[in-house]
Structure 1
């Protein structure tokens, strides 16, 4: 029986990916998403969710990716049955009232709104404590929020839940 000599070969170590190459990859991925991502997000394909803060339906959100053409926005509808939870963050939120009538307490100041109104929550370094109320309990009261996330990223957005929604179990 002849002896055979074995030579063990190793696979090459993967080449380190350079930062410059990662930048190109990131930009290519963004461009691909912009060209191939969803343009229409169907409302009936998005679930309603009850959280500590509210009963909401998310259309765009980084944390619940919808494979849309945009990634830097959070857009959601909030259905206010009685009132939302109470929380604090730096602001930077645009709210368009879809239906109903209510008010929002912002740092203990009351702001009334109704369908067709636009509510702006300002950016404040210490944040704003706020809660939303339905003035006509039993009737629909819904609004849609728009948040441009890079602003929050840059100001070090902090979210603190102060009180839960009464609908949260």
Structure 2
């Protein structure tokens, strides 16, 4: 844990010291690519579009395939910048309407032991499928800093979400807090 904290401090200090020498931000950079995390749907690779200012669009996705197991997520959001300030950095305060879906599939085999030789072949294969759907409203902030000729933005958001979890044959409605953060490079 100490290493992670030290690396974060070192990278943050490099980031802010170099960005102060990079000049002004360019408000004509409309596309951003990066990583976006979100609780409870997790996160993945993100694309953002700022060409419709003050309305912004975002899509997040990840696809993990491991043999028979899967863990996929796809989400989208539309946000409206309530406040936006442009100087040597760009800062935004925004409201966002977000939604997403996560699909998890786990496959495992149950073995039965026969005699002294240990497990003999799978006796039964178990498949568990879990789908999580969610929508929510979030309030967030983003700061975009010039960095080596491009722009790097960091955002954080918090909000309230509603969703449904379907696992095998069970289904339950749920409400949850939304916590998200991300980092993007704009071009």
**TM-score computed with the length of structure 2 as normaliser:** 0.23
Higher helix share: 1
Bigger relative contact order, structure 1 or 2 (CA pairs below 8 A, ≥6 apart): 1
Higher strand share: 2
The structure whose Rg is larger is 1
